[in-house]
Amino acid sequence: MLALGIDPGTAICGYGVVEMKGSVMKPVFYGSILTDKDWRPEERLLKIHQDVSDIIGHFQPEFMSIEKLYFNRNVNTAIPVAQARGVVLLAAAEHNLPILEFTPMQIKKSVTGTGGAEKNQIIFMVRRLLGIREEINPDDTADALAAAICGLNQARVLQLQAKGGARIGEILEKQRNPLSKR
């Protein structure tokens, strides 16, 4: 099973393609899409959309795992993140890619065992779970890999609950549209 994890942002949009065979996960491709602060907002969003679309087209993941929008106090940062998230979701829709969404707490808990994990704990566990020896920079890349890990864990549970060895795309489509014949 192949998952694309995304940590959306306009300055830095983390991505991680992770493969799961049995219970073993390994990183396939990961990094961050960087945009220049001097670019117009529409240029930044276009770059994010194009790059995510290219990743989806090249690797053909079975689903995308993305962090739900969460903001505490600062609406000024929430709006650009929501815009980046929107173009990422658009890229997924253009490729008919199913989406799993998780809160930051769900992702942290899936990777570290606790929803209140600190950034360094997430990075440590992502490296350990995926066998990555080098540092993961920026943090957004580790967050995207964590989202992919969380999605793979959830997808595995959904597949075990489904009858007949259904693929994750079929399971998610039935959840989204219970009348679907696919």
Q: Which residues are catalytic?
A: 7, 67, 140
Give yes or no for a contact between 136 and 142, defined as CB atoms under 8 angstroms apart. yes
**Residues 78, 71: contact at Cβ < 8 Å?**
yes
Q: Hey, what are 11's tokens?
A: 């300055």
The CB-based long-range contact list for 15-24 (8 Å cut-off, 24+ gap) reads: 15/51, 15/52, 15/55, 15/141, 15/144, 16/141, 16/144, 16/145, 16/147, 16/148, 17/55, 17/59, 17/61, 17/148, 18/130, 18/145, 18/148, 18/149, 18/152, 20/152, 20/156
User: In this structure, how many other beta carbons lie within 10 angstroms of the beta carbon of residue 157?
Assistant: 10
d(C-alpha 102, C-alpha 110), whole Å = 10
